[in-house]
């Protein structure tokens, strides 16, 4: 009976994602905030961390925001395409102009590769 109980405990423990066990309260809250932001619009990794940690955003510690974002399984190329489409829904952009907007630190902070992918997927190039 003790062996069966031990096997059941090990099985339950193994079913829990290891990253979820190691997140603090603030990090878990930042994960919830990140998921909400991602459901509304596209974000780059840096942009999402900035949004979560900014005094004008959620005010999480940068370290907590970073751990939270990195614990999620996010396709940054898809996020770039989402952002690119959102820009094109508002106004016209040239291919290069949209890539610059998406990759600029004054814009969305995607990598050049992600920005290029997003602009192409959205039909700007």
- All structural domains of the chain with their residue ranges: 25-74, 75-124
In terms of Cβ atoms closer than 10 Å to its own Cβ (0-12, 13-18, 19+), residue 18 is exposed
Q: Give the Cα separation of 83 and 86 in Å (integer).
A: 5
At 81, is the pLDDT very low, low, confident or very high (cuts 50, 70, 90)? Answer: very high
Q: State residue 21's pLDDT score.
A: 65
Residue 19: is its pLDDT beyond 80? no
Give the whole-angstrom CA distance, residue 125 versus residue 118.
10
pLDDT at residue 2, rounded to an integer: 43
Q: Round the average pLDDT of the chain to a whole number and report it.
A: 87
Give the pLDDT score at 20: 55
- From the list 64, 74, 121, the residue with the least C-alpha distance to 95 is 121
CATH of 75-124, picked from 1.10.1060, 1.10.10, 2.60.120, 3.30.420, is 1.10.10
Residues in the chain: 125
- 0.85 cut: is pTM over it? no
| Residue 35, pLDDT above cutoff 70 | yes
pLDDT recorded at residue 73: 96
Q: pLDDT at residue 7 above 60?
A: no
Token duo for residue 113:
């590769």
Higher pLDDT, 2 or 64: 64
**For residues 65 and 52, what is the distance between their CA atoms, to the nearest angstrom?**
6
Site of tokens 């994602």: 17
């Amino acid at each position: 009976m003790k062996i069966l109980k031990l096997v059941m405990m090990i099985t339950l423990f193994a079913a829990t994602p290891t990253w979820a066990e190691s997140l603090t309260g603030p990090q878990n809250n930042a994960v919830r905030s990140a998921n909400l932001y991602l459901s509304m619009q596209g974000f780059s990794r840096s942009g999402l961390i900035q949004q979560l940690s900014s005094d004008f955003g959620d005010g999480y510690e940068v370290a907590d925001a970073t751990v939270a974002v990195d614990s999620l399984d996010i396709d940054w190329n898809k996020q770039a395409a989402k952002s690119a489409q959102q820009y094109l829904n508002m106004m016209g952009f040239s291919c290069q102009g949209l890539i610059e907007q998406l990759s600029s630190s004054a814009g969305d902070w995607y990598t050049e590769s992600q920005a290029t992918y997003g602009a192409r997927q959205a039909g700007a190039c």
